[in-house]
Amino acid sequence: MADSLSILEQISQDAVRLAESVERCRTKVVPTETTQPTLRAMARAYFEFIRPELLVIKMRAGVVDAIDGMMQSLLNISSEPHSKKIYEEHFQELGPYLSEASMSLMKARGERRLLLSSVEGAILETLAKMLPPAAASYEQALRDLQFGERVSWRGPANEFREILREVIDYLAPDDKVAAVTGYQNEDGRSGPTQKQKVRFILRARKAGAAAVTVAEHSLDAAAEAVATLARSTYQRSNVSTHTSTAIPEIRNLKRYVDALLGELLEIRAA
């Protein structure tokens, strides 16, 4: 089972790299030599090592058939030049199924390996070097979301809020923000706001107005998501109802947090 997990992880990584190669392709159609060798190796590994394991464990109905179909379809389209869009659609659909298969294999053996997207991995790696406590908070929030065994989701929401605060404060200390020509405290504040700090960080990097606006929107949206989650916790008397409805809310919060961290830490999606 351990070998199967490693092989499946390699297949997932190959799929991501192949999707990147397709995206970088300068022609309207993707030549067979760009995809066929890697896809053949992926399909061989899947059908020989992974599929037999998936058939003997408890998985959601249809997952194996879906992966089978997409693997076979990718092999077929790689036999002759096809448009980038067709490949992109296949890889976008295949990724979640491969992740689900990995989770099922880990569950079957009682293993809890944290699965990270390329952006999550880059954020975690950067935070570990820059702010280890924030990295630990980010990893804990990811584990809570991935394994989903919390009764209350206020903890992960607060983790994400504090991660943003720590990163923003680290990159934009109060004294440096206040020293900028033309700086003024906002009404009722004795120091820079988080939004003023985000502007300071991005303008120092010569970021355009659009990038600053998007970052400010992500900051506002994340703050509102935390507030909404906090209010809903008190408004919902039934614990199971709170748990089931809070998970989509916390995932929505994470999207804004990842977007803002990606901008502040200069991380781009693969």
User: What 3-state DSSP class applies to 30?
Assistant: strand
For residue 6, the tally of other CB atoms under 10 A from its CB is 11
pLDDT of residue 171: 94
Instruction: Judge contact between 215 and 260, C-beta under 8 A.
Output: yes
Per-residue confidence band for 34, with pLDDT thresholds at 50, 70 and 90? very high
More confident residue, 145 or 17: 17
Report the b/e string of 198-213 with b at 16+ CB within 10 A: bbbbbeeeebeeeebe
Paired tokens of 195: 């939004």
Q: Quick: pLDDT tens for 226-246.
A: 777 666 554 444 433 334 456
pLDDT, tens digit, for every residue of 160-218? 889 999 999 999 999 999 999 888 998 888 889 999 999 899 988 888 888 888 888 88
Query: Are 124 and 116 spatial neighbours (Cβ–Cβ below 8 Å)?
Result: yes
> Is it true that domain 2-109 has CATH number 1.20.120?
yes
- The pLDDT tens digits of the residues spanning 158-170 come to 888 899 999 999 9
User: How many Cα neighbours within 13 Å face the side chain of 62?
Assistant: 0
Query: What are the backbone dihedrals phi and psi of residue 29, each rounded to the nearest 5 degrees, phi first?
Result: -115, 150
Q: Read off the pLDDT band of 140 (50, 70, 90).
A: confident
Length of the chain: 270
